[in-house]
């Protein structure tokens, strides 16, 4: 849910207002997903 809500709002705004290409925004969306998964795994292993 976090990956969908917060980054989508930020990336949509950057596409609309800052004219960032959607391909670049898609790369950043994948980056957000990867980071959230890695953080969740790391915290799960440490806890």
- The secondary structure of 7-45 as a DSSP string is HHHHHHHHHHHS---HHHHHHHHHHHHHHHHHHHHHHHH
9, 17 contact by CB (below 8 A) = no
pLDDT at residue 8 in the model: 85
Distance CA 26, CA 42 (A): 24
pLDDT along the chain (47 residues), means of 10: 80 93 92 90 94
Distance CA 12, CA 19 (A): 10
Q: How far does CA 19 lie from the centroid of its chain?
A: 18
pLDDT value, residue 14: 93
Output the pLDDT for position 3. 64
What predicted TM-score, i.e. pTM, was given to this entire model?
0.70
């Amino acid at each position: 849910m976090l990956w969908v809500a917060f980054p989508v709002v930020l990336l949509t705004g950057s596409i609309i207002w800052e004219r960032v290409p959607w391909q670049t925004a898609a790369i950043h969306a994948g980056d957000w997903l990867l980071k959230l998964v890695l953080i969740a795994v790391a915290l799960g292993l440490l806890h």
